[in-house]
Copies of this chain bind each other. A is one copy, B any other.
Amino acid sequence: MAEKITPRSQDFSQWYQDVVLQAKLADYSPVKGCMVIRPNGYAIWEQIQKDLDRRIKKTGVRNAYFPMLIPESFLKREAQHVEGFAPEVAVVTYAGGKELEEKLVIRPTSETIINSMFAKWIQSYRDLPLLINQWANVVRWEMRTRLFLRTTEFLWQEGHTCHATPEEAELETRQMLEVYTKFAEETLAIPVIPGRKSENEKFAGALSTYCIEAMMQDAKALQAGTSHNLSSNFAKAFDTQFLDKDGKQKHVHQTSWGVSTRLIGGMIMTHSDDKGLVLPPKLATTHVVIIPIMAKVETKDQVLAACEKVSQSILDDAGIQKLPYDTGIFIDKDEQKQPGWKFFEYELTGIPVRIEVGPRDLEKGQVVLTRRDEGKKEFIPLADVPARVSAILIDMQKSLLEKARAHRDANTHRTETYEEFKAQIDKVGGFHVSPWCQSRECEAQVKEETKATIRCLPLDADYQTIPEPGKCMACGAAGPNIRAIFARSY
């Protein structure tokens, strides 16, 4: 039997690490801060890629690939950008046995190298909008790392678009935020709050940054994706211009947006439990594991034949075929391992549905079916198995989202005063939708005193309703306040 997973109630952080390591999703590597994504984890990333890539392409974006190495001077062309990223970059100084004339940084993000190409490709308004995405690895030298959530090297997609007007750039920024929102909720089953970042938290080089914020089971926040309106900041730095319809040369207006392997960590911390991984069916590759009970020699062949039949009946079912993914079924015929070991293993690795096929149940024309997130055994007549499986897969995808949303809402508070906030954030964590005067000073004060940051200024009007005039939580100013979500975060 494998090691035991630390219960969430005892140590949430240790629980997370236990789940990731024991379910073989990822492992520590010999390179500081870099992780290995193991097959069980990479299969989730492949499902994420497939689903999100389809959504991105539907908006007219096409994939491309730009060099990973960026001349150091490129980073310096946009003042805020270099300030933000220079401390985090890994630098190549030698290559091919020689010292390089110009150092190269490994991309921490690709606005600069991509703009150097955009400047070459874009001539006139006919070349716009230019909508590009790339799936790539990036490196940001991190001090404190955590598997999936914060690693020195990570995998992501980064979209980069060019537009003729500021309005179109803003529309694109918001459209991609919407794509991420739907993707998070529909596929990852993670409810998110779309919002705008404060000036202090925005991307280095952006006019404004939008984000989606999720709440983990420990009531801490996780930034799950960002979409930046870059205005013409990089276009000016790289002279990315176009000849407009009016015959004038203008700088393009740009956006960039990305999500990363961090989503896998967020998904784990949203749904999983003390038995291990709980996987939304849309992210699974194996949806059903069938376990033959082979204790008795005389019934073994009959049990195995029934397993094959059950598997085929599921695959052939019209309801199953209507699911928006290929349903994966695995019959674990390994006789070296006991059924109990298998139950434990497939709970740990998050297979959504487990079916036990044993000789006594077969006599009654039934099997035992267990849904991973609920864990209750059901006896299902053989003929009803396919319908039950498809109903569970559909319901599980939905109910994981609902459960996470209920948890999020239960831990979201309208906190009006700083005293109340300080008491709450220590005691229960959570999101605090509180009035803020929009000054950097108040934001900094809250961060320093409570380690809570402004996660976003939510776009949804519901969050913004301020019933009374509302005084800034930090300084008490009655001024024109807005509501920000304050929380501790990953």
Q: Residues of A with Cβ closer than 8 Å to B?
A: 27, 29-31, 34-39, 42-43, 45-46, 62-71, 74, 86-97, 104, 106, 113, 116-117, 120-121, 126, 132, 136-137, 139, 141-143, 152-153, 155, 336
Contacts and interface: CB of A to CB of B under 8 A. Distances in A.
Nearest to A89: B95
A358 B371 CA distance: 59
The 6 A-B residue pairs whose C-beta atoms are closest, nearest first, are A96-B141, A34-B67, A39-B62, A90-B95, A37-B65, A91-B94
A143 B98 CA distance: 12
* Residues of A contacting B: mostly: mixed
Contacts of A37: 64-65
B42 A64 contact: yes
Given A27-B117, A92-B93, 7 more contacts: A29-B117, A31-B69, A69-B139, A90-B94, A91-B94, A126-B336, A137-B137
Contacts of A104: 31, 90
Contacts of A93: 91-94
Given A64-B39, A65-B36, A113 B155 contact: no
B90 A31 contact: no
Contacts of A97: 86-87, 141
A160 B30 CA distance: 18
A74 B29 CA distance: 13
Contacts of A155: 65
Given A92-B106, A93-B91, A132-B39, A67 B27 contact: no
B88 A91 contact: no
A62 B38 CA distance: 9
A136 B37 CA distance: 13
Contacts of A336: 126
Most buried by B among A120, A136, A155: A120
Contacts of A139: 68-69, 95
Contacts of A86: 97
Given A93-B93, A94-B90, A34 B141 contact: no
Contact of A95 (B35, B63, B91): B91
Contacts of A38: 64
Contacts of A35: 67
A55 to B, nearest CB: 16
A308 to B, nearest CB: 19
A43 B31 contact: no
A474 B158 CA distance: 54
Contacts of A153: 67-69
A96 B92 contact: no
Contacts of A29: 66-67, 113, 116-117
A75 B6 CA distance: 37
B63 A31 contact: no
Contacts of A96: 87-90, 141-143
Given A35-B67, A62-B43, A30 B95 contact: no
